[in-house]
Structure 1
Amino acid sequence: MFDSVSAAASPISATLPAALVAAAAHLVPRLAAHAAESDYDGGFPSREFDWLRAADLLTGPLPAALGGASLVQPEHTLPLLMLLKHLGRGNLAVGRVYEGHTNALQLIGRFGTPAQQQRYAADAHAGHLFGVWNTEAADGVKLEPLPGGRYRLQGSKTFGSGAGHVTRPLLTAALPDGGWQMLVLPADAQPPTYDASFWQPLGMRASASFRVDLSGLEIGSDDLLGQPGDYYRQPWFSGGAIRFAAVQLGAAEALFDTARDFLRGLGRTDDPYQRQRLGEMAILVESGHQWLHGAAAHAGRPAAIEQAEATVAYANMVRTAIEEVCLRVLQLAERSVGARGLLRPHPLERLHRDLTHYLRQPAPDAALADAGRFALLQTAPAHELWHVD
């Protein structure tokens, strides 16, 4: 733990991205073994995030100069996606909340002032959990200017993942002129009102994605992040879909492993139909893995930011392809294990619920249509469409 002054003067030695990927992979058995313990309404994997803190995973997205591993830099996209995949393989709720933590620190690194980057790096090293709460409730969040450079929040967010545990949520709020402003709320000092009754889902119960009422909370101008509209700037807004796709693929890998273990336990490894299903599942999981490699290569191109439309279209293909991989793996796993494998407390029952719920990301049809729109507007042949700067 250190303050922002010491962070600026004496950066902590950065951990290599590969070491963090290995640390996440090492945690997978423990995450999976304890996942059922927080699988209840209002649950949250608090102990698991203590493990992530101890493994330096909460500081991994920070730049090396601030004691991180620069995981969110384009050249480290593949290690970041592999890390997210491992966490999703261990516990999908952990992967979901960690992806939000990563997203928030990435936005701070991109749009924050140097002083803000120092300040929030110190918070990350002190163990604070970040997140992004963007989905509006009916009474969407508004930012009211007050005298003395202060602001008052009014309104609510829904799907506030990690509610009550995320202490540095990044929010969007409407300004009086209609602009959308990012801010980081010190939720430990200015706690919102959480409505846990909102979150009664099919799966992902441990993500604690409550309704969050921010009405009456006050922040200062130094809590505002970037300029109005920055949150929706492309390719970063839509291009970030590759991160949640990586978490989803991790759960598909866990389904594959769990279904295979179930069949081995029953001595069904010689059944030709089970072999056929496992073969198809193996192809699907590996194809998802290759999509992540493609996503990392595309995000790391020198022209990825300038060619924002191409970057977004590719990310939309990735999320669509991995969604289809996951849906098909779910179906094949169901058929492989039958009714017995979908009974509690078998882990496949929870995995099935969690992945089914987490796959419901916003606007899947629009994402696919956007990829098609981009392809229709191009004249390059198919073999060059995604691979030429």
Structure 2
Amino acid sequence: MVVDFVRADSSPTVAPATPLLATPAAAVQAAEALAPRLFAQAAATDAEAVFPTQEFDWLRAAGLFTAALAPGLGGAGLGAPTATEELLTVLRHVGRGNLAVGRLYEGHTNALLLMQLFGTPAQAARWAADAATGLLFGVWNTEAPAHGVRLEALPGGRYRLHGAKTFASGAGYVARPLLTGALPDGQGWQMLVLPADAQPPVLDRSFWRPLGMRSTASHRADLTGLEIGPEDLLGPPNAYYRQPWFGGGASRFAAVQLGGAEAVYDETRRFLQALGRTDDPYQRQRLGQMALLIESGRQWLRGAAAHAILPNDAGAPASPAAGAYANLVRTAIEQIGLAVLPLAERCVGARGLLQPEPFERLHRDLTHYLRQPAPDFVLADVGRFVLEGNDLY
């Protein structure tokens, strides 16, 4: 096993403050403008040993690091229920630029949303200040087989951590990972935000040998021996798994995935135009089918915003359809991505799959990212929901 210690000084140096975006619409404009720049840089960071440091400097400089924060916390308000469509659009644009960056940025955004939803005002203010100084957040939830994270109670409300997380995206660069751990005596699962710059986990880099999404640094992170205080605990036990927030978050990673499918579509069109193959009726038919698929994905995201908006108050009632609709969105966009890829392959042929063309990387990244857990279960759960007489709309 290759084990590596990664400490805070390996993270990129950032400016002490990030620009402020005044509105959700401004965040959408910033992400749309940044997407081509991210795309042009993507090939340079397509390796397990490389982290997209420069890309995250660009996200910070564009004000997108704090965009998910409420205006009172220095953000653009992308976390508000009324800004759901703008939030999903920002994620789609970042994914269109680089799926690996999109995956990491979605985790950063997810953590900021959870800390606003379940944190105390003092915690939210503290973590918002961390984001404003450029610290990267993330969410690490996947348990290491037979070695999941558990909390050992210590005096003074402190805990010692034992166990590990796998698929810990951004490990070694995420300074504030939000993770879950089992409380003593079967009390449930507790969210916490680890100050990883002060207490870095031990990373097993040999875990991450992926097909795609190479630069996400999704290593195995062993947290054994690290200690946290009561100020690091987020929300009550089992809050992370509360519905509809847990299942409803699927729309966010689906938005990033759709951005990857859009990149495949955009590059296929560019490739055929460069070769002068725009008069071929079969190529036209394939591009028409791809256009249909991409537009249907955008409509699904609009549906997620219109019909499955999640309240930003943990005590407020939410539509029971929110989680079920998000599962539909996730499933539909997975099917869209899986349909776009073979159409693009037929369009560009073997020539298009040679470097420096981007298709080989795009196909690896999207194929890998589409493999989210339990795809059959989530669709079956939608079936259960509607068979019980519930309405999705």
State whether structure 2 residue 159 is matched by structure 1 residue 151.
Answer: yes
Contact 2:81/2:312 (8 A) holds in 1: no
For the Cα contact (< 8 Å) 2:20–2:76, is it kept in 1? no
Q: 1:244 maps to what in 2?
A: 253
Structure 1 residues without counterparts, runs of 5 or longer: 4-11, 380-384
Equivalents in 2 of 1:272, 1:80: separation in Å? 37
Equivalent residue letter for 1:231: Y
Find 1:386's aligned residue among 366, 378, 392: 392
Deviation at residue 13 of structure 1 after TM alignment: 6.7
Separation in structure 2 between the aligned mates of residue 353 and residue 332 of structure 1, nearest angstrom: 15
SS in 1 for 2:184: coil
Choose which of 187, 201, 214 in structure 1 pairs with 2:223: 214
**SS, match of residue 131 in structure 1:** strand
* Equivalent position of 2:33 in the other structure: 26
Q: Deviations over 1:317-359 (max 9, x none)?
A: 1111111111000110011111111122211110000000000
- Equivalent-residue separation in structure 2 for 1:109 and 1:218 (angstroms): 23
Are 2:197 and 1:188 equivalent residues in the alignment?
Answer: yes
Amino acid at match of 2:179: L
Provide the residue aligned with 2:180 in structure 1: 172
- Write the deviation string for residues 46-66 of structure 1: whole angstroms up to 9, x where unpaired: 100000001110101111101
CA deviations 1:10-66 (Å, max 9, x no partner) are xx9762111111001101111000001110112211100000001110101111101
Separation (CA, whole Å) in 1 of partners of 2:37 and 2:290: 24
Within the candidate set 55, 79, 84, 1:72 is matched to 79
RMSD: 1.8
For structure 2, the 5+ residue unaligned runs are 1-14
Structure 2 counterpart SS, 1:171: strand
Aligned to 1:341: 352
Determine the C-alpha separation between the residues in 2 that align with 1:345 and 1:141: 42
Give the whole-Å Cα distance in 2 for the aligned partners of 1:13 and 1:159: 31
Equivalent AA in structure 1 for residue 173 of structure 2: H
SS at match of 2:138: strand
Alignment of 1:1-40 (within 5 A): 15-40=22-47
**1:89-140 alpha-carbon deviations (Å, 9 max, x no partner):** 0000111001001110111001101110110011011111100000000200
Deviation at 1:306, TM superposition (A): 3.3
Residue matched to 1:262: 271
Match of 1:117 in 2: 124
Distance 1:153 1:345 in 2: 45
Please point out which of 212, 215, 230 is paired with 1:203. 212
Matched, 1:126 2:133: yes
* Partner AA of 1:230 in structure 2: A
Q: Secondary structure at the match of 1:338?
A: helix
Output the CA distance in 1 between the equivalents of 2:55 and 2:41: 8
AA aligned to 1:265 is A
CA distance in 1, matches of 2:392, 2:189: 32
1:7 paired residue number: none
* Structure 1 residues 13 and 197: CA distance shift in structure 2, 3 A: closer
**Partner amino acid, structure 2, of 1:256:** Y
Say whether the 8 Å CA contact 2:20–2:66 is kept in structure 1.
no
Choose the corresponding residue for 2:242, options 218, 233, 239: 233
Judged with a 3 Å threshold, the aligned counterparts in structure 2 of structure 1 residues 302 and 104 are, in CA distance, closer, same or farther, namely closer
Name the amino acid aligned to 1:49. F
Consecutive aligned runs of 4 or more in structure 1 exceeding 4 Å deviation: 301-305
The alignment partner of 2:151 has SS state of strand
Q: Secondary structure at the match of 1:18?
A: helix
Checking the alignment, whether the CA contact within 8 Å between 1:14 and 1:64 is kept in structure 2 is no
Query: Corresponding residue for 2:7?
Result: none
Q: Pick one of 353, 375, 379 that aligns with 2:386.
A: 375
- State the 1:301 CA deviation: 7.7
Moved more, 38-47 or 85-94: 38-47
Residues 2 and 119 from structure 1, CA distance in 2 versus in 1: closer, same or farther, beyond 3 angstroms? farther
For the residue of structure 2 that corresponds to 1:344, the secondary structure is: coil
C-alpha separation in 2, matches of 1:224 and 1:45 = 29
Paired AA for residue 110 in structure 1: L
The one-letter amino acid paired with 2:238 is: G
Distance 2:162 2:41 in 1: 38
Q: Does the Cα contact within 8 Å between 2:95 and 2:103 map onto a contact in 1?
A: yes
Does the alignment pair 1:325 with 2:336?
yes
State the identity as a percent. Answer: 67
- Residue 99 of structure 1, aligned match among 90, 96, 106: 106
Residues matched between the structures, number = 374
Q: Distance in 2 between matches of 1:152 and 1:175?
A: 11
1:375 partner SS = helix
Task: Write out per-residue CA displacement over residues 283-313 of structure 1, whole angstroms, 9 at most, x where no aligned residue.
Answer: 0000000000000001338899635531111
DSSP-derived class of the 1:158 partner: strand
For residues 255 and 303 of structure 1, the distance between their equivalents in structure 2, rounded to whole angstroms, comes to: 34
Provide the TM-score with structure 1 as the length reference. Answer: 0.93
Superposed CA offset, 1:124-167 (max 9, x none): 11111100000000200111111222211111000000111110
Is the Cα contact below 8 Å between 1:81 and 1:292 reproduced in 2? yes
Equivalent of residue 375 in structure 2, options 339, 364, 368: 364
State the SS of the aligned residue for 1:279.
helix
For 2:12, the equivalent position in structure 1 comes to none
Secondary structure at the aligned position of 2:126 is classed as helix
| Matched residue type, 2:153 | P
